[in-house]
Structure 1
Amino acid sequence: MKLAQRAGFRCSNPQCGALTIGPGAGPEGVSDTGTAAHIFAAAAGGPRGTGGLSDEERSTISNGIWMCANCGRLVDVNAGKLYSASLLRSWKDLHENRTRLEQGGHVQPFGWVQSLEVASHYLFMPGIIRLSKLNLLFGMNGSGKTRLFHLLTCMSSPQLLMDAAVLKYPADLTCEITWFDPALRRATVDVRGEALAYHVDARRVPLPPRPYRVWSFGTRNQTFAMDSPTIGGIADFLDIDPWAARTVVHSLPDLLPGVISGVTVSDKGSVDVAYVRGWRAADRRYIFPFYVLAAFAELQARSEPTILVLDEPFTFMDPVMELEVLDLFELSHWTFQVILATFSPHACDRRHQGWSATVLMPADGRKSRISQEDGDVEAINRAPEGESWEEIIRKLGPNNRGL
């Protein structure tokens, strides 16, 4: 019953959202058409497997998602292969947060990107990435991670895509992006030479729509460390107005109540943060920027659907701090999507926490193959200790598919 109540008695499938409770037969009858579906299977051999969870963990409410009867059956067809655990967990988190905001009187634009399909591209073999709320992206330098981000941003800001395609490569590519708003929408992007064309729901449109916003942060243009944070420094880091930066800073205690108890800003713009738990100064300088990023993305997501892209943010961080960052983004109340491109192999261990993983594999010539196959992802986990990330991916190339 609690699972249904948390979902507002509506199906958590963003393509459905059907009300699952209503009047039944007679003056006092109630009709209940909902079902509590498992994210990871209740028993070994079930849809989506057990995810390494214990019997007790698989029986808790955190491993359940409320759905209508039809969708509950649909997600378990073919052993659940079309609906991953990370996808269902994302549906649940997004639906519960949307319900929480609606209950508080806040109508939020619902949206989320479901997939990016590459039909033709100068750096990729044809393939598809199915996006969840939390996404990991693995690939060697030069494998095309940044180009994938350009494809995601081409709906609202095509300049990066076109600059690379026209100036550096033969400009000939096609991709398709699907998203919910809350209905399922589909856009095709075609580049031929210096011509860029968009089709949305099979209809040609003269200018690109902006169904979602992508905010990208990477070590190439950002330093993920703040020794003595200031409003000006945070504004520069986020590339926003200083007054918007103040809003982000003052939101931190409300958005992270178990982490930050208070924030004060001096007349000169210095930011003093009171943490719930003690942090060494060396640790605070690395973890605080991620608190700022999460708060910024959440506030942005309450205005428009938002994807936060982090391109290799762990370059100067130790493994303990990496895990803190992963814990941060796994908090269930966030309503934005995350794509984390990382060189950290142990991040794959977090897939049972809701992260889905994509690997860019060496393929023919200079092209990469987009893979979400379990065998490719698991191979990263099984890599011998001390083996470099590049060696792991190279072994997963076309001539050697395992370790």
Structure 2
Amino acid sequence: MSINTKPERWDFLSGVPLDLFKRANGKCSLPRCNNSTAAPAEVDSSAINMGKAAHIYSASEDGPRGRGGKNEAFIRSAENGLWCCAVHGDLIDKKGGKEFAAEKLFNWKKLVEARARKQVDQVPSPRGWVDVIELTLLPFAVSAKLQIKLSRFNLLHGPSNSGKSVLLELAASITNSHNARRMLSQSQGPRAASNLPTWSGKVLYTTVDVLDKVVQLDIDAGHFRRREGSTPCLLPPGDIEVILCSSNDAEQRTDEDDVEFLMRLLNIDHSTVHALLSLAVGKLLPGKYRIAQGYEDNEHGTDVQLRFKINGKPHFELQFSDGNSWLPLSSLSKSSTDKVILDLFIAKAREVAKQRLTLFLVDGISFNFDEPNYQNLLNTIAAEEFQAVLCLPPRQEQFLLEKREGLLRLKDVAHLRSWDLIQLTR
């Protein structure tokens, strides 16, 4: 006598598929998809359905993406579903759902539902999705192209000189052309006289208002240009913010006090520095921040003197407290300073993401973290609403990567399940 061992399915409750259809306004949830999901029937006055309600976490325990530890009520609810066209409803489950992580699908669900809501009440929404960063032209290369296709949270891996940093700098130059300074300095060579771009690239993204937007970036003869199609963009686009936290900018200049350093580093004004310090949670280095005028070093035990800059103005310093005493930023170790910088960048990205599509990029500054601190960084970012790309530090590879089926993959551990691996080759 055979025993039926087929796993139990937790299908959607009655009415959930129709709710998902309505919540998405009948549109496919995949960004930039224009496929119809409903149409009138020709033979009578009914309608035909060309879409489907898709589970994010699976109805079956051994299905695509598994059940993620969720209970039956959640799996069967509209919260765990998204509306897709027939093509993408099948596609997201191919290869066991490995190419479409749950975090990615939940974000797409929020975007399509925010777009439908905007059509009803015209309330702005920061929801969006950065799909592609691409370098289409590189100096001294006859035919070369670097492209990364983004998930929600991404770890970018590749050997030295494979283009990781320049891809992130290109994307960040959408918001601030200062991030393109390395490319600008390399655009003065033999090709400059031809008036042809030395560097060229693009960022493709979608927002609640725009289904398919491409910002083109060209650099030639020391000039940086943004454009949408053939239309020049004199100002950064107002619907996206790309924030780059790079070790290249994390060295304080001798003529800067801490406030000026943070203004330059975070690309914010004076008042925002103070506001951000009051909002920063300090998850990487738990504690509080304040700004106060610094004191001169005193080696002889004489009266303490306040510190001033060369121009005679007060020299303000960032001070950190773990609950015991206040310490100036300059007295912290390199690792602790990097944690403070990352905490402040994460706080900025968190606040900006409340207003517009936000992509947070990290390059270099976390390279000296040990395994527990890097794991904490991944968990901290994965709890945020913005998209993120982190260059994978070489010293973390042994803890995060393994070969499975002949391919390099992220290890199947809890703190990596929200993350996807993007690989570049030289």
The question of whether the paired residues in 2 share the 8 Å contact of 1:252 and 1:260 is answered with no
The 5 A counterparts of 1:155-166 are 155-158=174-177, 159-160=180-181, 162-166=183-187
What is the RMSD computed on CA atoms of the aligned residues?
5.1
Change (3 A) 1:330 1:198: closer
Instruction: After superposition, give the CA deviation of every residue in 1:17-76 in whole Å (9 maximum; x if it has no partner).
Output: 99x9xxxxxxxxxxx998652346556996xx54xx578559765994422555762543
Partner of 2:363: 311
- Residues 306-315 or 154-163, more deviating: 154-163
Instruction: Report how far residue 198 of structure 1 moved.
Output: 5.4
Partner of 2:130: 113
Instruction: Report how far residue 266 of structure 1 moved.
Output: 7.2
- Of 281, 287, 295 in structure 1, the residue corresponding to residue 347 of structure 2 is 295
Instruction: Report how far residue 323 of structure 1 moved.
Output: 0.4
Partner of 2:385: 335
1:241 aligns with 2:262: no
The question of whether the paired residues in 1 share the 8 Å contact of 2:155 and 2:389 is answered with yes
Partner of 1:357: 421
Change (3 A) 1:260 1:38: farther
Instruction: Report how far residue 132 of structure 1 moved.
Output: 2.1
Change (3 A) 1:99 1:233: farther
Q: Counterparts of 1:8 and 1:307 in 2: how far apart (Å)?
A: 29
Q: Counterparts of 2:349 and 2:341 in 1: how far apart (Å)?
A: 12
Q: Counterparts of 1:248 and 1:7 in 2: how far apart (Å)?
A: 40
Partner of 2:83: 67
Q: Counterparts of 1:284 and 1:329 in 2: how far apart (Å)?
A: 18
Instruction: Report how far residue 341 of structure 1 moved.
Output: 0.7
Structure 2 counterpart of 1:121, which letter? Answer: L
- Of 166, 184, 187 in structure 1, the residue corresponding to residue 212 of structure 2 is 184
Instruction: Report how far residue 326 of structure 1 moved.
Output: 0.4
Instruction: Report how far residue 244 of structure 1 moved.
Output: 0.8
Q: Counterparts of 2:125 and 2:350 in 1: how far apart (Å)?
A: 12
Higher Cα radius of gyration: 2
Change (3 A) 1:45 1:160: farther
Point out which structure has higher relative CO (alpha carbons under 8 A, 6+ apart): 1
The question of whether the paired residues in 2 share the 8 Å contact of 1:151 and 1:161 is answered with no
Instruction: Report how far residue 271 of structure 1 moved.
Output: 4.9
The 5 A counterparts of 1:251-400 are 251-252=279-280, 265=290, 270-272=319-321, 287-331=339-383, 334-343=384-393, 344-345=396-397, 346-347=399-400, 348-349=410-411, 353-361=417-425, 368=426
Q: Counterparts of 2:364 and 2:188 in 1: how far apart (Å)?
A: 25
Change (3 A) 1:168 1:212: farther
Instruction: After superposition, give the CA deviation of every residue in 1:137-170 in whole Å (9 maximum; x if it has no partner).
Output: 1123322222112321343444426414413685
Structure 2 counterpart of 1:180, which letter? Answer: T
Q: Any stretches of 5+ residues in structure 1 without a counterpart?
A: 21-31, 225-229, 276-280, 362-367, 369-403
Change (3 A) 1:6 1:234: farther
TM-score norm. by structure 1 comes to 0.62
Instruction: After superposition, give the CA deviation of every residue in 1:160-217 in whole Å (9 maximum; x if it has no partner).
Output: 264144136855444332111342112344456567665524x343646525222212
Change (3 A) 1:35 1:311: same
The question of whether the paired residues in 1 share the 8 Å contact of 2:32 and 2:212 is answered with yes
Q: Counterparts of 1:267 and 1:195 in 2: how far apart (Å)?
A: 40
Q: Counterparts of 2:262 and 2:118 in 1: how far apart (Å)?
A: 27
Percent sequence identity over matched residues? 19
Change (3 A) 1:175 1:246: same
Change (3 A) 1:67 1:259: farther
Aligned residues: 332
Change (3 A) 1:143 1:37: same
Instruction: After superposition, give the CA deviation of every residue in 1:358-386 in whole Å (9 maximum; x if it has no partner).
Output: 2221xxxxxx3xxxxxxxxxxxxxxxxxx
Instruction: Report how far residue 321 of structure 1 moved.
Output: 0.8
The question of whether the paired residues in 2 share the 8 Å contact of 1:15 and 1:183 is answered with yes
Q: Counterparts of 2:262 and 2:275 in 1: how far apart (Å)?
A: 11
- Residues 295-304 or 165-174, more deviating: 165-174
Secondary structure of the structure 2 residue equivalent to 1:292 = helix
